[in-house]
A and B are shown apart, each in its own frame.
Chain A
Amino acid sequence: MKTLIIAAAALAMLATGAQAQTVRIATEGAYAPWNFLDDSGKPAGFEIDLGNELCARAALDCTFQTNEWDSIIPNLIAGNYDAIMAGMSITDERKQSIDFSDNYFPPDPSKYIVRAGTTLDFGALSGKSVGVQGATIQAAYAEATFGATNTIKAFGTADQALADLNAGNVDVILADGSYLSEIVAGSSGSLELTGPDVMIGGGVGVGLRKADDDLEGKLNAAIGEMKKDGSLDALIIKWFPDKAPGPIFAGG
């Protein structure tokens, strides 16, 4: 047992030593078009394009890896990777445990999605089953707003929530509007948006460990540069066509 521990420790030291040079970025890989796994099984999407561009501008060597959403912050703190780009909204609650870069996506309304033909009274919702992705801003909002008289179902991924909405196991899902708009278009009429927009969250930024001020500075400089020259707007419009024609960040 003792030799096993020593061998494991030695192996771990080697591993950490070899990985010190690159910036490892974690993403969820299940939140198209923000981040998803493409047909070849590799991470792709808006945040992968953006991350690669930011790293090129900041002269960093970056790799993407996937991590499940509900453990994505603990594993950042534990040092399994160095940054999070996973459509994560900047909130005061999260800021207590990690730092954020400047936002690279503006505050975006959350929306309700239902099976086509469902009408709900959001002023007095009761006895309904409301689906959310666990540990998201929408989960906190739904719990606070509807939790008393409705059932809140938290799912591991947004895809699973949608699957249950499709199967009729939940009545309505609250999620990022930027995530839902292409889904409604692709559902060939079976799903639709309804009810009021909900403004929560302070935009989306890169999640970083509190001690990594150097990395934060480099990323902020690159994000600022991309905001100013309009390339960030172009990238957002490429992946989120309904944000066209802008301007989103460019020109103040």
Chain B
Amino acid sequence: MLDILPQWMKDGIGDDLLFWLGYFTNGKHLTWYASVQYTLAAALFGALTALVMGLAGAALRNARFGPARLVGALYINMVRGVPDVLFFLFFPLAFEQLVELIRAQAVCTPEGLAANAGQWPPCDAANWFLGTPEYLALACVSLGIVYGAFAASVISGAMNAVPRGQLEAARAFGFSRAQVLWRFHIRQMWIYALPGLSNVWMLIIKATSLLSLLQIADIVLWADRLGAPNFTRSAGLVHPDWRWGYYLVLLVFYILVTFLSEKVFAAVTRWAGRGMSVANPA
């Protein structure tokens, strides 16, 4: 990695610093830096799923049809009480087994079923191998379902906060129900929902540190591996327990992400508040 540096630069840096530069840019560390993609992907797609689930949940919660309202209320109230770690462990496993159960109906032969009697999957052909991309997708959906309930609660409250007079005026101008919903209700809802949604986003960011539970080699797992003491010369640099240093880097990383998120949300809030009668919170 450092071979690309010209000799005069190497001389200027000095051997000690050069050694550490080399150590922190070896393949293991580069893999660690690259693994941030899983964290960011899980946060972005998890948040996107949560937003969709939140809008759907809020729509159900405020629906005119009684049973739909019940489903919405159940989703919001029950899923918010589920620990995210538990759901992270439960949902991917349950989904995998459900897919395998459905596939087993189609692909299993009687011999295959007999060979695997009392075991899972029902037969070898029905087995679904989960690699990192599959686990990442399931992690995003898990995050989306859990935090979608929070988002639904926030959005549902924000929908109710939009002044009735605005909607009545829109109807008086002859807009249809759907037009009132999309052009007035949802559009004015954002300014009330954003403070709450920014909170949910922070929770999702923090929950991405759970990815290693699903065997995804994310930044937390690599920090653990790289920081663990190594006394075996053949396995690389011999060093004592350095995990605190690596965890510290992660803490700084998460604080930086929080800081950047605040800036982005401030900008979005300014955008959502343009032309609104409420005082601009930003």
Binding site for B on A (CB under 8 A): 5, 8-9, 11-13, 15-16, 19, 30, 32-33, 36-42, 44-45, 67-68, 71, 77-80, 157, 159-160, 162-163, 166-167, 182-187, 191, 211, 239
Scoring B residues 117 to 129 as 1 if CB is less than 8 Å from chain A, else 0, what string do you get? Answer: 0011100110111
A165 to B233, CA, bound (A): 19
Query: Are B99 and A8 in contact, CB atoms less than 8 angstroms apart?
Result: yes
In the assembled complex, the CB of B223 is this many whole angstroms from the nearest CB of chain A, namely 13
Q: How far is the CA of A45 from the CA of B236 in the complex (A)?
A: 11
B265 to chain A, nearest CB (A): 30
Task: Name which of B95, B240, B243 has the most chain A CB atoms within 10 A of its CB.
Answer: B240
State whether A39 touches B231 (Cβ < 8 A): no
Contacts of B232 in A (CB 8 A): 32-33, 36, 182-183, 186
Chain B positions within 8 Å of A, measured between CB atoms, are: 26-28, 30-31, 95, 98-99, 102-103, 107, 115, 119-121, 124-125, 127-131, 134, 215, 225, 228-236, 238, 240-241, 243
Can you list the 4 inter-chain pairs with the closest CB atoms, starting with the nearest? A40-B27, A32-B235, A186-B231, A32-B232
Taking A8-B134, A182-B234, A239-B234 as known contacts, 11 extra A-B pairs with beta carbons closer than 8 A to each other, sorted by chain A number, are A12-B128, A15-B131, A32-B230, A33-B235, A36-B236, A38-B27, A160-B228, A182-B231, A182-B232, A183-B231, A187-B231
Q: A33-B234, A163-B241 are in contact. Are A78 and B27 (CB under 8 A)?
A: no
B2 to chain A, nearest CB (A): 13
Cα A183 to Cα B234 with chains together (Å): 10
- Centre residue among A32, A33, A44 by max chain B CB count within 10 A: A32
Q: Is the CB of B128 within 8 A of A16?
A: yes
Q: Which of A9, A157, A186 contacts B233 (CB 8 A)?
A: A186
- List of B residues within 8 angstroms of A184 by Cβ: 231
* A39 (CB) vs chain B CBs: closest residue: B26
**CB nearest to A239 among chain B residues:** B234
Partner of B229, one of A40, A80, A163: A163
Complex Cα distance A16/B129, Å?
A: 7
From the candidates B129, B225, B243, name the one contacting A19 in the complex (CB within 8 A): B129
CA distance A37 to B127 in the complex (A): 28
How distant is the Cα of A77 from the Cα of B118 in the complex, in angstroms? 12
Q: Known A5-B99, A166-B240, A186-B231; judge A37-B129 contact (CB<8 A).
A: no
Report Cα–Cα, A5/B28, bound state, in Å. Answer: 36
User: What is the CA–CA distance of A68 and B213 in the complex, to the nearest angstrom?
Assistant: 10
Name the B residues within 8 Å of A5 (CB-CB).
Answer: 98-99, 102
State whether A182 touches B26 (Cβ < 8 A).
no
15 contacts between A and B (CB under 8 A): A8-B134, A15-B128, A32-B235, A33-B234, A37-B28, A41-B30, A41-B31, A80-B130, A157-B228, A162-B228, A182-B231, A182-B232, A186-B238, A187-B231, A211-B124
User: What distance in Å separates the Cβ of A244 from its nearest Cβ neighbour in chain B?
Assistant: 15
Q: What's the Cα separation between A159 and B238 when bound, in Å?
A: 13
Minimum CB–CB distance for A208 against chain B, Å: 14
Q: Across the interface, do A163 and B243 meet the contact criterion of CB distance under 8 Å? A: yes
Q: Which residues of A contact B233 (CB under 8 A)?
A: 182, 185-186
State whether B129 touches A39 (Cβ < 8 A): no
Known: A9-B103, A19-B129, A79-B127. A159 touches B236 (CB 8 A): no
How far, in angstroms, from A160 to B134 measured CA to CA in the complex?
28
Contacts of B95 in A (CB 8 A): 8
Partner of B228, one of A30, A68, A167: A30
In whole angstroms, what is the CA distance A57 to B236 when docked?
Answer: 29
Q: What chain A residues lie within 8 Å of B235 (beta carbons)?
A: 32-33, 36, 38, 44-45
Q: Are A79 and B234 in contact (CB under 8 A)?
A: no
Q: Give chain B residues whose Cβ lies under 8 Å from the Cβ of A80.
A: 129-130
How distant is A81 from chain B, measured CB to nearest CB, in Å?
9
Residues of chain A contacted by B234 (CB below 8 angstroms): 32-33, 45, 182, 239
Residues on A with C-beta less than 8 A from B129 are 12, 15-16, 19, 79-80
| Nearest CB of A to B74, in Å | 17
Chain A residues in 8 Å Cβ range of B228: 30, 157, 159-160, 162-163
- Decide if A39 touches B120 in the complex (CB within 8 Å): no
Cβ contact within 8 Å between B231 and A12:
no
- Contact A39/B103 with A33-B234, A159-B229 known, Cβ cut-off 8 Å: no
Question: CA of A46 to CA of B131 in the docked complex: distance in angstroms?
Answer: 26
A16 to B89, CA, bound (A): 23
A252 shortest CB reach to chain B, Å: 30
Residues in B with CB closer than 8 Å to A166 are: 229, 240-241
Contact assessment for A39 and B241 in the assembled complex, using a CB-CB cutoff below 8 Å: no
- With contacts A15-B131, A78-B121, A79-B129 taken as known, whether A38 is within 8 angstroms of B236 at the C-beta atoms is yes
Residues in A neighbouring B115, C-beta threshold 8 A = 211
Q: Chain A residues near B128 (CB, 8 Å)?
A: 8-9, 12, 15-16
Given the interface contacts A16-B129, A30-B225, A159-B229, does A167 sit within 8 Å of B28 by beta carbon? no
A188 to chain B, nearest CB (A): 8
